[in-house]
Structure 1
Amino acid sequence: MQGKRIGGQARRRALRLLGAIGAGLALAAAGPAFAAWPDKPVRLIAPLAAGSAPDVIARILAHELGELWQQTVVVENRPGAGGIIGLEATRQAPADGHTLALVHASAAVVTPVTFKSARYDIERDFDTIATVGYTPIAMVANPGAPATSLAEVIEASRAKPGEVDLGNPGRTTSAHLAGELLNQQVGARLFPVPFSGNGVQAVVGGDVPYYVDGVAPLLRMVEADRVRPIAVFADRRLDGLEAFPLATDVDPGLVVTGWFVVASPAGLPEPLIEKINADVNRVLAKPEVARRFREFGTYPQPGTVAQARDFVRQEKERYAQIIQRAGIQPE
């Protein structure tokens, strides 16, 4: 006799149960030490200051994972030295799944080739587990600046090579390298001006006519009409960024984002890596998480372990090329 067809909701519950059972069996096969993971609080190291937008993303992720795992996930801020302090703390921790890191793009793939004191390699010394989110880079202008579009900014810089200043939040940040990519990709001749403090205020105050940064610190200034949106370096239009024209309308290669991945010290068993990846994706699928991410200019980036590792590898190569062409030397 033909059995009853299982409804969609019941089928999804059954698949989730089978997935959980499979993950549990895989962890048991990885060894007794991992069968009950996590059996103590998990550290999520954030190599950035408390209160920053990436720190908020880390805390959202930690809270959600803690609920899934029924275990405390503590965000541990280790800022400084371009991410070296936080990444070294992660690298030296036991590879037992109880120390993870939310690694941002600069710390992962820029600092190792721009800081002489960096001794780590993101692929050699860490296991990339999951992509978490990305933050588009955007350009804004002081309201009194002469150019009102990216094409006009480029044309102005070509007319006066090296005399048109483009502020950024710091040397070798993703935003700084977005400006360098602009120079390389379309022949702009903008002069980079790094600010170690609040560079947004520099463009608001007219210290620089143009400024490039992650969208998070720019959105409120745009909404308050204190700066003019020039372009966002994204590959498509995104919710909440409708005021920004796409830089790809000028050149399709003008895509630069900051991003975050979850990583661990190298040597974590693959079944545990797969479980953490699946749980991160479960978090990212929640509409409320996506909404809270967007408040800080970040967009969820789910994917498999293989996709995460390919992404980091490609970004590592891409940023290295921008740095080399810009003639930036390690300091």
Structure 2
Amino acid sequence: MMTKTRFLAAAAALAMLAGSAFAQAWPARPIRLVVPFPPGGGTDTVARLVAEKLTSQAGWVVVVENRPGAGGNVGLDVVAKAPADGYTIGLGQTANLAINPALYPKMPFDPLKDFAPITTVASQPVVLVVNVASSFRTLADVVTASKSKPESLRIGLAGNGTVGHLAGEMLERRAGIRMLNVPYKGAGPAMVDLLGNQVDLNFANTAAAIPQLAGKKVRALAVSSAQRVKNVPELANVPTVAESGYPGFDAITWTGLIAPAGTPQTVVGRINAEVQKALKNPDVQGKLAAEGSTPMGGTPGQFAEYIRTEHQKWGALIREANIKLE
């Protein structure tokens, strides 16, 4: 008669064999890659680059599906509630995995429990820029001016709760200054008003900043990432906020692949391995650099820990600054 211990061991072995067989057969049909933002944006661009490389490298069929809404919550909810069979994955990012849980009164999913993290993909800073005609040459100039007359400087925001907004709030707390927030409906309108001198500065995303830097219409004072962005010519010589007097300052937009919780780890591992390979491809690195992004990569475990860390960091800042959606 089989003992309970032998039965459990046999059951575990059968489960491992079944998982192995599934992983070997997977993928037997197209993989859906859900993008929680509209076509044409930065997250969509990264997703399509990943889908293209997974197709060309591994021979998989990866279909990008845009499901925008509620700051990315709608699309990631689709992923959270999909079958955990490896055929639905999503491209999450800072907003929907780390910021929104503290910003929205009710979330349709739990970013720490409802997903199987696969890997981080890429990161990009926000860039503190001023009109090229501005007298500000350094971050220290901005801090000095703001301290001499609090709330006199107008900082344009792409929207409430964006990384640019939160980077500004973080800087104010670290530097002991107060600026006047001027929110816009997107990075484009905020940049237009900076060029028109309606605001004094802007923590702009790289997609909005790089063309204006290349055209010498704005000046970059600092980047919000922990290290300089050396792979982007327009940003390579721009100092970080951290090295400008605020050690440890780090506020970036990042993207990462996730699957529904319970997705077989063998499948997660296979996707992870292909993405690591893609991120080392010079073509991929060049396309990411063109939009101001830096490849990240890493293990599923590292990504899970990163989500937890970012979730705590942004949640604490949002509560401290009493930031609300408007």
TM-score, structure 2 length as denominator? Answer: 0.89
Equivalent residue for 1:86, pick from 58, 67, 75: 75
Q: Does 1:278 align with 2:273?
A: yes
Shift of 1:29: 4.1
What is the correspondence of 1:261-276 to structure 2 with a 5 Å cutoff? 261-276=256-271
Counterpart Cα distance in 2 of 1:42 and 1:27: 23
Q: Does 1:227 align with 2:222?
A: no
What is the correspondence of 1:7-22 to structure 2 with a 5 Å cutoff? none
User: Structure 1 residues 174-183 or 227-236, which shifts more?
Assistant: 227-236
**Equivalence for 2:12:** none
Could you say what secondary structure the match of 1:271 adopts?
helix
Shift of 1:243: 4.1
Q: Does 1:327 align with 2:316?
A: no
Q: Does 1:172 align with 2:161?
A: yes
Counterpart Cα distance in 2 of 1:66 and 1:259: 23
Contact 1:229 1:243 in 2 (8 A): no
Counterpart Cα distance in 2 of 1:235 and 1:115: 27
Contact 2:128 2:202 in 1 (8 A): yes
What is the correspondence of 1:72-111 to structure 2 with a 5 Å cutoff? 72-111=61-100
- CA RMSD, 1 decimal: 1.7
Contact 1:137 1:257 in 2 (8 A): yes
Q: Does 1:248 align with 2:242?
A: yes
Counterpart Cα distance in 2 of 1:224 and 1:27: 57
Shift of 1:28: 5.5
Change (3 A) 1:295 1:184: same
Equivalent residue for 2:192, pick from 186, 198, 201: 201
Counterpart amino acid of 2:75? G
Counterpart Cα distance in 2 of 1:146 and 1:27: 65
Shift of 1:269: 1.4
Change (3 A) 1:27 1:149: farther
Contact 1:137 1:256 in 2 (8 A): yes
Structure 2: which 5+ runs fail to align?
A: 1-14
Counterpart amino acid of 2:269? E
Shift of 1:242: 2.1
Could you say what secondary structure the match of 2:257 adopts?
strand
Q: Does 1:312 align with 2:307?
A: yes
Counterpart Cα distance in 2 of 1:155 and 1:49: 40
**Equivalence for 2:10:** none
Could you say what secondary structure the match of 1:303 adopts?
coil
Contact 2:231 2:294 in 1 (8 A): no
Residue identity over aligned pairs, in percent, reads 33
Could you say what secondary structure the match of 1:123 adopts?
coil
Change (3 A) 1:161 1:41: same
Counterpart amino acid of 2:287? R
**Equivalence for 2:149:** 160
Equivalent residue for 2:130, pick from 141, 146, 150: 141
Q: Does 1:67 align with 2:56?
A: yes
Equivalent residue for 1:131, pick from 120, 124, 128: 120
Structure 1: which 5+ runs fail to align?
A: 1-25
Contact 1:216 1:296 in 2 (8 A): yes
Shift of 1:42: 0.8
What is the correspondence of 1:171-190 to structure 2 with a 5 Å cutoff? 171-190=160-179
Shift of 1:69: 3.1
Counterpart Cα distance in 2 of 1:27 and 1:44: 27
Counterpart amino acid of 1:194? P
Shift of 1:33: 4.2
Change (3 A) 1:33 1:224: same
Counterpart Cα distance in 2 of 1:164 and 1:132: 35
